[in-house]
Structure 1
Amino acid sequence: MTKYFLNMLGKIDIEKLLQQMSRDEKIGQLVQADLSWNYDIKEMIREGKLGSLLSIRDVDQVNELQSIAVNESRLGIPLIFGNDVIHGYKTILPIPLAQACSWNLALIEEAERMVTKEALAEGTHWNFAPMVDISRDPRWGRVAEGSGEDTFLGSCIAKARVRAYQAQDILPGRQMAACVKHYAAYGAAIGGKDYNSVDMSERMLRDVYLPPFKEALDEGAKTLMTAFHDLNSIPATANTWLLVDLLRKEWGFDGVVVSDFDAIGELIHHGVASNLAEAAFLAYKAQVDMDMMGNAYPFHLSKLIDLGLVSEQWLDEAVRRILILKRDLGLFEKPYGDKDLFMECVLSDEHLNITKTLADESIVLLKNENKILPIKPDGLRVLVLGPLANDAKSILGCWSCEGEPERTQTILEAIQESFTGATINYIMGCDVDGTEISADEVTAGLGEADLCICVLGETDEMSGEAHSRAHLTLPGVQAKLLDLAHSSGVPTVFVLVSGRPLILTDYVTKADAVIVPWHGGSMAGAALADSLLGKVNPSGKLPISFPRTEGQLPVYYAHNRTGRPLEATGTIQFNREHKSKYLDESNYPLYPFGYGLSYSTFAITNIEIKNPTISQNEALTVLVDVKNESEIAGKAVVQIYLRDQVASISRPVRQLVGFEKIPLSGGEEKQIQFTINPKELGFYDAHMRYTVEAGKYDVFVGFDSKTEFSGSFEIVEFSRERDHLILD
């Protein structure tokens, strides 16, 4: 602390520190690199030419490099270490898409607090998460990292994750910064191809894709990451409308903006810069504070200042934001990781128990014909079939960087441990993406089985960044295993292990039950086994639609109404009905948003709209009675959707505006109160003003997005003309 100036409150005086910094030291704070950088990292740190390092997950290495910064550089400014802690550090949670299936915000927040503790203990103060990109196209590999297709659900989960990552009571005096990414609309890449262009209207952007970012920043997220793609032909990392006009000016964000990995350098490949100097200038104009592995700021920014193209004032503003971030995270006082604490908490019983609970609630039951599940194992001969049944690495999922497969129980091992009294036989059958199956061995195994548990899907390396897929059927020849099981007549449970929705249309008819544990993390095996046995009652609900075929994509529930809707009689033209439909496929997904079965049977027994006429600034109150009509205890996810009957622009057929997950014992009935904030009813009108219009609205309450009409209410007009409330 002797190198730093303190203010009257005993805190680091950022302004006095800035005054002591040379230009090279200031630019250094804007530079982030990993250990693959082609320069002497340690010497760069000593010279004050590095402000941040990423992708270092070793507490001894963190502390060694931090010691150089604190003790050997001229001003002793600590480094900030950043990592992609997407769904766990050492203890691996289900992938974010799977977590969203829980619809349990408190549980997600609790689990992510656990993740924060592990990361902080090893010296990570900056988490490049949450990813809040809405995605309606599962061909895009990074759908695994987000919360699915819906703006409201995605916004709720984004806020929960920000609270968890930035909690100040996890390790006293230490805090981690959330980094909301990828700004913006990265999940709408054309064709579901990663890094591809995004072309959309400003209204779609504001109504669907931007709200999770805004909600996360309003929750206090300290940093934001730019995206790789171009938005309406302007690369996101050089998009001044997106980063300056909207983010800085309209939203008032004053935190740190960091580029994604080499995103500034990639402006050359986008064709908007001819060299790194031009790329640095474009990123400067967009007020990108930190260059992640782009080689633009460290080697070209100073010359741009000399030429008068970049102002010293902007440089000071960017450095100030970074120094404030480091101060607020406690780095000046506690810059080092805590190895003892790290070894104590990672993969601890407490952390594994939290992970198991989240994995339990992330599992989605899609089919349960003749109530084949739950399984009564005593005396049962069970064939566990498929290449993913004994794969500990794949169930951890993409971005499980520090996960330890050798300490992870496979699905097969969990079944062997849990199915008391059963005889378990395992046959791999084929490789995940192989071209041949061991048909004779499989047929023989089925001949000696009373039940087949067929574990198929994707490896961890088939989803995530740069892992887009044009074809979403089961890879390789895995489907032939399901064919053999079906033709044998042996009752079959199809277990889908994946990082995205797959096309299951041809498979679900060949299985008696279909259950999805996704890439469920460190406790995926145990969670699945307990769900199969009924020790845990599945309660997961889909946060994204499962398409019938790739030709439907993107398919999502909240699509706009059309002039020739499928449900109407159709317009007679050329002596035929004309409707918005496919000639060769259904309009609807195989499984819709919000869908998921339970071993319990739930029913909505009464709905009361307390205030059927409201003003434009009054909350809507809806009372819902829900009952467990079975004897099996379970958890119901009650969902409420609204539809604007007549609006000034075409609006979605329905939109989620509230949900609640409640436990119900057998025969138990509870009442839920939904209070809907007026802003959830609004949209951007023809003049791009956020408005809540007067008029009638339909209400839908149930257990998925296909739920039936439940009632209506009216927002009263203030004049004869269509009125609206403009919200800031």
Structure 2
Amino acid sequence: MNPDRRTVLSGIIASAIASGFSFRALAAEEVTRVDDLIKKMTIEEKAGQMTCLADAFRPFNPPNPAAGIQDVKKLSEEIRKGRVGCLFNGIGVAGARKAQEIAVNDSRLGIPLLLAGDVIHGLKTIFPVPLAEASSFDPVLAQRTARAMALEATAAGLHLTFAPMADVARDQRWGRVVEGSGEDVTLTALLSAARVRGFQGRDLRRDDSLLACPKHFAAYGAVAGGLEYGSVDISDETLRETHLPPFGSAFAAGALTTMAAFSEINGVPATADRTLLTDILRGEMGFTGFVFSDYTADEELVAHGYAEDDRDAARLAVLAGVDMSMQSGLYIRYLPDLVKSGAVPMGTVDVAVRRILYVKMAMGLFDNPWRSLDEAAEKSRIGAPVHRELAREAGARSIVLLQNDGVLPLDKGKKQKIALIGPFGDDKANLYGPWAFYGDADKGVDVASGLRGAMVDPDQLTVVAGCAIHGPTDGGIEEAVKAAKAADVVILALGESQDMSGEAQSRTVIEIPPAQQALADAVAAVKKPTVVLLRHGRALAIHDGVANANAVLATWFLGSEAGNAIADVVFGKVDPSGKLPVSFPWESGQEPFFYDRKSTGRPTVPNGSTEYKARYATTDNSARYPFGHGLSYTRFTLDKLQVSDPALRWDGTVSITARLTNSGKRRGSEIVQLYTRDRVASRTRPIREFKKMERVTLEPGESRTVRFTLSRTDLEFVGAGNRRLAEPGAFDVWVGQSSEDGLHTQITLYAAAPASA
């Protein structure tokens, strides 16, 4: 067997085994079938399998500029000629069947199409944006919502989703923070793997299995200044330690495709980076599926100043390891001549085509090209009530209680007048967040409807906008102040519109718009108990009337059941248990800001002098609300921290335990977190690193021992020569409720048993 073929096939099998999935490995006859196809294929047909184009057969919702869109007649002819391997971002079984019938029945070789789409946090049932769901710190929840998304997406005629986003995002100015799991590598890795498992299910050949495509490989979340499509300039150590592990976790969970980043790394655009896409991705990480370009990203190599023209861009992309070109059409236009001229070896093209066909075979498309094209499933699985119930649960679990002086929860049985003030009070247009373009806007539950549905007397709720999202309205503040004065409790619904987050929505100031801030300040002057509901797709810097409210809730973009989920938390039906996956800064100018930063040689210390220390002149180097922060309606305390042995042997483990007590008066859940710090190392290490977590639910007065296990591998980092290593020495350990608190102990890693042992 050709080594390249062996590598691809064994890698697919290995990915399945590593992930625990039970789909059948390719049989020998299936491998032969692919080989025979490749032998029969012309170079045009091979380039066609490597081409992904916008779906003109079905309602198409382009989240990008409408470049290269073809009408149905032209696209049909291209498919008949075998010049298309994948269609994307159309939904609907009828249109998908028409396209697949042409590919299977009318093309020379009958190779089925792969049907893909951007189902990021829901198809028709919209779940919380990924960043919101990350606040649950719960991979099981992420897997459940991804499974529900897969059930709807496959019922709508899709085989693949361009998700999850596995980018670690540490600059809140970047709009696509909303699409991932936040600033921490461990949390992102856990949730990325969970979403892959949820999308794909346990058998890739099932009708309801949705192939995952982790993106954007790699380090897209590190774009300079948080500027979309920008450049990335980082060390190899940071690339491997921070930005690659979530992808490795997703691949181990069974993902067989990935997408190259728009950005460049250290001067080389990812789409043309052979070191990244071949040496690292395939050589170091062992990935053997296939690689998509992002939307026209190969064509954009010219604008980068890296390719001379479109033909050169196609050459660079395919030689780097991009197997499938999305939307530019460069491969179908230029690969035949590039191969004929010798600029691209036929063997390179064959390897890419083989990767694509092996994945199609692993999905069962050759045996059943009509999989996921069932009209009965389309009618029964999309928007199912059980999915709405899950969306409500996920929404409530995603809310983070940032501060509360006791005003929450509200007593829904108490006769009290509530003034819901702000542009998002009864707004339906901004419930879903970005990347939810298949959802029906009129089917989402707004905040006002959710609150009224939970109140004994809905007439006690007054709704006043007070201002528009981006500007004042005539008499708006006066009306809001009047409503606040007449109310017993004020709820301010403020924040970002959904088009302020997402792709191409980088911001220099991560604050609520000035008109909303003015509204909040005016209402605050009334001095009524005030609750702020923040709507947002990133961490925000909040001030004055917002920051000083009696209670502040991070409610993100929660999807179809947003209003009901918020009402569940506001009225105490659900105890808030979310934790922040991103740090909220004091000021926008602190960005990029993240909890696991380095100490510097002149760190600030508590109650110490700040002169000539690592700080800003206008604020200190801390978070208003740190990573991992989130309150409950009850009170949790930690004590009795114990370590089984302060000496961690090289091949051993130690147990860290602490007692968690619910010392409040309500049942609640806490997410206990374990952090470490390498005190002295050959590379400076972060002040804390998140390693473990456990969710614990306790009744009032109940206690439970939380146990974590640490081994040498938990203490590894990327050192000289880009090798992962752990170094003997002392390590700080914290068990706490955020990245800035906790009980402290210390362990020592020994290369061999200590002399006293």
Check whether the contact 1:117–1:170 (CA below 8 A) recurs between aligned residues: no
For residue 359 of structure 1, give the secondary structure of its aligned residue in structure 2.
helix
Check whether the contact 1:505–1:590 (CA below 8 A) recurs between aligned residues: no
Residue deviations 1:638-659 (CA, integer Å, cap 9, x gap): 0000011111221111101100
1:693 corresponds, among 712, 727, 752, to 727
Amino acid at match of 2:345: S
Match in the other structure for 1:490: 528
Quote how far apart the aligned CAs of 1:718 are.
Answer: 4.0
Match in the other structure for 2:49: 29
Distance 1:7 1:520 in 2: 44
1:434 corresponds, among 439, 460, 471, to 471
Distance 1:67 1:611 in 2: 65
Distance 1:335 1:441 in 2: 60
Match in the other structure for 1:289: 323
Distance 1:370 1:300 in 2: 66
For residue 590 of structure 1, give the secondary structure of its aligned residue in structure 2.
strand
Distance 2:464 2:274 in 1: 56
2:177 corresponds, among 117, 121, 143, to 143
Alignment of 1:496-515 (within 5 A): 496-515=534-553
Match in the other structure for 1:453: 491
Amino acid at match of 1:33: L
Check whether the contact 1:564–1:570 (CA below 8 A) recurs between aligned residues: no
| 1:213 equivalenced with 2:233 (yes/no) | no
Check whether the contact 1:620–1:678 (CA below 8 A) recurs between aligned residues: no
2:437 corresponds, among 386, 401, 411, to 401
Distance 1:7 1:551 in 2: 57
Match in the other structure for 1:97: 131
Check whether the contact 2:136–2:578 (CA below 8 A) recurs between aligned residues: yes
TM-score normalised to structure 2 length = 0.91
Check whether the contact 1:612–1:712 (CA below 8 A) recurs between aligned residues: yes
Residue deviations 1:435-490 (CA, integer Å, cap 9, x gap): 44512222222222111111011111110000111111112401122112111122
Amino acid at match of 1:315: V
| 1:552 equivalenced with 2:586 (yes/no) | no
Match in the other structure for 2:404: 368
Check whether the contact 2:271–2:298 (CA below 8 A) recurs between aligned residues: yes
Check whether the contact 1:616–1:693 (CA below 8 A) recurs between aligned residues: no
**Total equivalences in the alignment:** 711
Quote how far apart the aligned CAs of 1:180 are.
Answer: 1.1
Alignment of 1:137-536 (within 5 A): 137-168=171-202, 172=206, 175-336=209-370, 337-421=373-457, 423-436=460-473, 438-536=476-574
TM-score normalised to structure 1 length = 0.95
Residue deviations 1:117-141 (CA, integer Å, cap 9, x gap): 1111222111101101111111100
Distance 1:493 1:267 in 2: 49
1:567 corresponds, among 602, 605, 616, to 605
1:541 corresponds, among 576, 579, 594, to 579
Quote how far apart the aligned CAs of 1:501 are.
Answer: 1.3
**1:340 to 1:489, Cα distance in 2 relative to 1, 3 A:** same
Match in the other structure for 1:17: 37
Match in the other structure for 1:132: 166
Match in the other structure for 1:85: 119
| 1:51 equivalenced with 2:85 (yes/no) | yes
1:74 corresponds, among 93, 108, 113, to 108
For residue 400 of structure 1, give the secondary structure of its aligned residue in structure 2.
coil
Match in the other structure for 2:692: 658
Residue deviations 1:491-513 (CA, integer Å, cap 9, x gap): 11111011111111334444111
Further displaced range: 434-443 or 388-397: 434-443
Further displaced range: 140-149 or 615-624: 615-624
Amino acid at match of 2:454: S
Quote how far apart the aligned CAs of 1:250 are.
Answer: 1.6
Quote how far apart the aligned CAs of 1:20 are.
Answer: 1.9
**1:495 to 1:130, Cα distance in 2 relative to 1, 3 A:** same
Further displaced range: 600-609 or 331-340: 331-340
CA RMSD in angstroms comes to 1.9
Gaps of 5+ in 1: 1-5, 721-728
Amino acid at match of 2:190: C
Further displaced range: 463-472 or 371-380: 371-380
Distance 2:206 2:75 in 1: 30
Check whether the contact 2:129–2:557 (CA below 8 A) recurs between aligned residues: yes
For residue 725 of structure 2, give the secondary structure of its aligned residue in structure 1.
strand
Distance 1:389 1:377 in 2: 21
| Structure 1 runs, 4 residues or longer, greater than 6 Å off | 568-571
Check whether the contact 1:132–1:213 (CA below 8 A) recurs between aligned residues: yes
Distance 2:384 2:664 in 1: 37
Check whether the contact 2:639–2:743 (CA below 8 A) recurs between aligned residues: no
Further displaced range: 502-511 or 468-477: 502-511
Distance 1:489 1:287 in 2: 61
Distance 1:532 1:8 in 2: 58
Quote how far apart the aligned CAs of 1:189 are.
Answer: 1.0
Amino acid at match of 1:690: R
1:42 corresponds, among 61, 64, 76, to 76
Distance 1:403 1:50 in 2: 28
Residue deviations 1:232-265 (CA, integer Å, cap 9, x gap): 1110110111111111112221110010000000
Check whether the contact 1:262–1:294 (CA below 8 A) recurs between aligned residues: yes
**1:334 to 1:662, Cα distance in 2 relative to 1, 3 A:** farther
Further displaced range: 326-335 or 367-376: 367-376
**1:59 to 1:560, Cα distance in 2 relative to 1, 3 A:** same
Amino acid at match of 1:650: T
**1:174 to 1:110, Cα distance in 2 relative to 1, 3 A:** closer
Distance 2:753 2:486 in 1: 76
Further displaced range: 675-684 or 113-122: 675-684
For residue 247 of structure 1, give the secondary structure of its aligned residue in structure 2.
helix
Further displaced range: 533-542 or 331-340: 331-340
Q: In percent, how many aligned pairs have the same letter? A: 38
Quote how far apart the aligned CAs of 1:8 are.
Answer: 6.2
Amino acid at match of 1:386: G
Distance 2:345 2:521 in 1: 67
Distance 1:16 1:483 in 2: 71
Amino acid at match of 2:502: G
1:642 corresponds, among 668, 676, 679, to 676
